[in-house]
Structure formats: C-alpha cells, structure tokens
Amino acid sequence: MIKPESIKIVNLYFTPFATALILIALLISNPGVTYTVGFLCLMLFSIVFNNLTSYFAKREQKWSNLIGVVRLFFNLFMNIIIVYFLGKFWGPLWLLFVLTPIATAIYSSTRNTIVMALLCSLTLMLIYLVRGLSGIVGWGQAISHVLFIIVISLFVHNLILVTYRPDTR
C-alpha cells in the first residue's frame, strides 16, 4: 500500500521542481503568447491536481494506491505534452521524465520501477526522434539522458528498499 506521506513528499519536491523548469522554459525561451498562456494554464491545472490528490490520499488512505497510480500516469502524460512542445525551446525539460520513474521507485516494486523507467526513456527517445534529433552528439546526449533516467530510478528504489523496506525486493 502506498503511504500517503510518500505522495505528500513526492508532491512537496517534484511539483516545485517541475514548475520551476517550466517557468524557466517560458521565461527564457519566449515561445510566444499562445504557448506561454497554454502552458501556464496546464501548469496551474497540474499543481491543483497534484495538491488535491495528495490531500485526498492522506484523507482517504484506502484510496492511496489508486491515487498514486492515477498521479503517476497523469504526470507522465503532462510531461509528454510539455517536453514535446516546449522541449524544443528549453532542452533541460527532459528532466521531467526523471520524476515519474523516481515516484514509481518510491511507491512501488523493482519491476514497476524498471518498467516505468523504460517507458519514460522510450517516450523521450521517441520525442527526440519525432522532433528530428540528428548527429552523433545529439544522440549521445539522448542516450545519456536515458541511462540517467534508468540508473537514478533504480538507485532511489534500492536506497528506499535498504533504508525503509529491508525485507522486500
């Protein structure tokens, strides 16, 4: 069962980080009024959604597993939209794809962590491919991003296993 405190901690750190990345992207890249307004609205909706689900997970603990899964896929979907459209303006947005597998690492099993890390990695590579990434340096960086997503997710998961759940793997 997902502990509501875990959802609260993920929300406490990941929501501000994602918000900062998006705001920096909008401020520095100046993608235009339509993109800026659209992504500010999307970001606001995401903040409200994440805070409400964190509150409900704590209030209704019997629903915390479902809330955790819904949050993971909602945020993954939001990250796909953000990285696909804004990533061409601000490269560091790929870091959003690190958040979902790390949240999975905190909430779930080793298997689920690996699956989510691979799903996010594959999604990021597809976005790069569709956006026309080319050259050995570009693909080398993309592969480095994928390796980071996988390694950091497994590291966090194993750290949590050793620290908080030593009898499960």
Global pTM? 0.88
**Among 112, 78, 96, residue whose Cα is nearest residue 148:** 96
What are 162's two structure tokens?
A: 């050793």
Chain segment 39-50, per-residue pLDDT in tens: 999 999 999 998
d(Cα 57, Cα 10) in Å, to the nearest integer? 12
Tell whether 95 is covered by a domain.
yes
pLDDT of residue 138: 96
Please check whether residue 77 lies inside any domain of the structure. yes
CA distance 82 to 19: 11
Classify residue 18: in a domain, yes or no: yes
Assess if residue 28 is contained within a domain: yes
| 169 within a domain of the structure (yes/no) | no
Q: Is residue 130 part of a domain?
A: yes
What is the rounded distance in angstroms from the CA atom of residue 4 to the CA atom of residue 33?
A: 38
Query: Token digits for 140?
Result: 């080398």
Contact 105, 160 (CB under 8 A): yes
Q: Are 97 and 120 in contact (CB under 8 A)?
A: yes
Residue 166 is which amino acid? P
User: How many domains are there within the chain?
Assistant: 1
**Residue 112 sits in which domain range?**
4-164
Residue 166's pLDDT is what?
54
pLDDT string in tens for the chain (169-residue length): 566 677 778 888 998 999 999 999 999 988 889 989 999 999 999 999 988 988 888 888 788 888 888 988 999 999 999 999 999 999 999 999 999 999 999 888 999 999 999 999 999 999 999 999 999 999 999 999 999 999 999 999 999 888 876 555 5
